[in-house]
Structure 1
């Protein structure tokens, strides 16, 4: 499990909530236009939808600690590797909206949650993926340990740092509580995030490689 935000809108200024919501909508429209919908195979669509549903169910297994802090898996790295950046962003936007319906956050904070729980994991995962493709040989173990395990952990650590910094800037909690008590937990929770991402992606690329957008067995397994 991992620490994730269920952001109460009352903690943040109105201008930030409005700007984040508007920019989040623009990002979703951009993602829709960028995705090549006509070329998607049935396997790609099925894996995208299945992963999205499983992630939504996983999010329901959470334990609230304080306002803005709760336990559950992020899942953005796995979704990005499976569905690609554009579909991952769209899924996370919709899943966050659905999660609002369960009463886990304020609707006014949807945009801010999208940037933190949606855009941040997708962007971090893509940067690590591009880095590995550029500086490492196309190897199966590089993909699993760098793009899956490492990306999952790093995403959680960056999220934790930004989460604590944001809550500190809006005076939601003291710096001592956030950086001495909560931030170390984010570091620890990066490991289960990495394990869940790496384990699930390993099973998929072995048994259903066509379901993973970021994996090409001809490249990583040197098939001819």
Structure 2
């Protein structure tokens, strides 16, 4: 638990230093922020609310990062983790692990991947939607799950080999929704994506 608390404190410190609340001034990001705070806790709480042989884990962190930007996403994901704990009545240890492995780590990976794509790949809408929204989400979520399993956070009642397969398949499901929502927002609600820029990707 000490590692998870350290990661949460480090991310919160970096986020607060960047003053993410400024993102809400003069923008329409309040809508995706409220949607995240209302919907995502229930998705995170599914494994504890429905006991199944294979628990389905939903992250949503890459999508939250694309919508809100990393600094504001950190605050939102920590709030989601706290709300999830209240909904599912889980322990503080479980809540800390949930915030780090399903929230902050995939969000940070999404930030780093996005920076790499903007630095070394051409600025094109398909690069944004497919690279950051779809394939990037697969890699970020699966990498976070790999690290979680390596540190002992495995799926219950499942062997390590099957856990890897399950994490890989669940990452694709998560990424499919992220990519789909990203494409819809680019087409109809680009102002709900803090990481999108018409000037950069449409050369306008």
**Global fold match (TM > 0.5):** yes
Alignment equivalent of 2:183, drawn from 202, 210, 217: 202
Aligned residue for 1:204, secondary structure, equals helix
Aligned residue for 1:215, secondary structure, equals coil
Distance (whole Å) between structure 1 residues aligned to residue 125 and residue 159 of structure 2: 41
Say if 2:134 and 2:179, in contact at 8 Å, map to a contact too: yes
Flag structure 2 segments of 5+ consecutive residues without an equivalent. Answer: none
Of Structure 1 and Structure 2, which has the larger fraction of its residues in strand? 1
Computing the radius of gyration from Cα coordinates, the structure with the larger value is: 1
Q: Quick one: structure 1 residues 25 and 187, their matched pair in 2 at CA, closer, same or farther if it must change by over 3 Å? A: same
CA drift of 1:42 comes to 4.0
2:18 corresponding residue in structure 1: 34
Aligned residue for 2:59, secondary structure, equals coil
CA drift of 1:103 comes to 2.4
Aligned residue for 1:159, secondary structure, equals helix
With the length of structure 1 as denominator, give the TM-score of the two structures: 0.79
1:6 corresponding residue in structure 2: none
With the length of structure 2 as denominator, give the TM-score of the two structures: 0.86
Flag structure 1 segments of 5+ consecutive residues without an equivalent. Answer: 1-16
Distance (whole Å) between structure 2 residues aligned to residue 165 and residue 173 of structure 1: 14
CA drift of 1:43 comes to 0.2
Count of residues in Structure 1 that have an aligned counterpart in Structure 2: 201
CA drift of 1:126 comes to 0.8
Structure 1 residue 97 and structure 2 residue 107: aligned?
no
Trace 1:53-92 onto structure 2 (pairs within 5 A): 53-62=38-47, 63-65=50-52, 70-92=55-77
Distance (whole Å) between structure 1 residues aligned to residue 44 and residue 131 of structure 2: 25
CA RMSD, aligned part only? 2.5
Distance (whole Å) between structure 1 residues aligned to residue 156 and residue 39 of structure 2: 32
1:142 corresponding residue in structure 2: 127
